[in-house]
Amino acid sequence: MKTFDRIGAMLGPLLLAVLVLACGCNCPREAPATSGAALAAPLLTYVGPEEKPGPTAWQPVPNAGQSVLEPYLSQAFYQYDKEPYGLPVTTKPYGNFVDRIQYEKSEYKGETVRIGFIGCLSGPAQDYSGNMLKGATLAMEELNAQGGYQGMPFELITRDDKAVMGVDGHMMVELIFDEEVLGILGSMSSDTTHVGIRVALKSEVVQMTSISTDPTISQIIIPWAFRILADDWSQGRAMAKLIYKDLGLTRVAIIERNNRYGRMGSMEIARVAQRLGHPVTVKLKIDLAADAKPEDYIPQLRIVKDYDPEAIVIWGMYKEASLVTRQARAMGIDAVIFGADGLVSQTYIDITGQDSEGVVVTFPYNHYRDSGVNKDFIANYTKKYGKAPDSFSAHGYDAMLAMGRAVLNSGNKNGKEKGLNRALVRDELARVKDLEGATGLISFDHTGNDMRIVEFAVIEEGQFKFLDQARIDALRIQTHARAHGL
Share of the chain above pLDDT 70, in %: 75
Sign of the torsion angle spanned by Cα atoms 62, 67, 68, 72 = positive
pTM above the 0.85 mark? no
Residue 8 phi/psi, 5-degree rounding, is -65, -40
By the 10 Å C-beta count (0-12 exposed, 13-18 middle, 19+ buried), 127 is classed as middle
Q: What is the topology classification, in CATH, of domain 101-230+370-442?
A: Rossmann fold (3.40.50)
- Checking if the pLDDT of 32 tops 50, the result is no
Q: pLDDT of 399-432, one tens digit each? A: 999 999 999 988 755 444 556 888 888 988 998 9
Among 26-30, 320-324, 461-465, which stretch is predicted with the lowest mean pLDDT? 26-30
Region of 19 on the Ramachandran plot (φ > 0 left; ψ -120 to 50 alpha; else beta): alpha
- The pLDDT-based confidence of 434 (bands split at 50, 70, 90) is very high
Q: 38 to each of 30, 275, 356, how far by Cα in Å?
A: 11, 12, 41
CB 184 within 8 A of CB 115: yes
Among 4-13, 29-38, 152-161, 397-406, which stretch is predicted with the lowest mean pLDDT? 29-38
Report pLDDT for 17: 54
**Amino acid identity of 151?**
G
The architecture CATH gives domain 233-363+455-483: 3-Layer(aba) Sandwich (3.40)
Stretch (H or E) spanning 483? helix 469-483
Range ranked top by mean pLDDT from 178-182, 265-269, 343-347, 426-430: 178-182
Alpha-carbon span 351 to 450, nearest angstrom:
31
Alpha-carbon span 169 to 186, nearest angstrom:
12
Residue 403 phi/psi, 5-degree rounding, is -60, -40
Residue 449 DSSP class: -
Share of the chain above pLDDT 90, in %: 58
By the 10 Å C-beta count (0-12 exposed, 13-18 middle, 19+ buried), 427 is classed as buried
Report pLDDT for 10: 57
Pairwise pLDDT comparison (62 vs 345), residue with the higher score: 345
Alpha-carbon span 205 to 182, nearest angstrom:
7
Q: 268 to each of 198, 232, 262, how far by Cα in Å?
A: 25, 8, 11
**Amino acid identity of 432?**
V
* Same fold: 101-230+370-442 with 233-363+455-483: yes
Count of CB atoms within 10 A of residue 486's CB? 8
- Checking if the pLDDT of 88 tops 80, the result is no
**Amino acid identity of 140?**
M
Range ranked top by mean pLDDT from 77-86, 166-175, 273-282, 315-324: 166-175
Domain ranges of the chain: 2-87, 101-230+370-442, 233-363+455-483
Three-state DSSP class for residue 455? coil
Residue of 295, 132, 95, 277 lying closest to 211 (CA atoms)? 132
Q: pLDDT of 165-177, one tens digit each? A: 999 999 999 999 9
Three-state DSSP class for residue 98? coil
**Amino acid identity of 474?**
A
Between helices 232-240 and 260-275, what is the axis angle to 10°?
40
Report pLDDT for 246: 94
Mean pLDDT for the stretch of residues 101-129: 80
Alpha-carbon span 72 to 29, nearest angstrom:
13
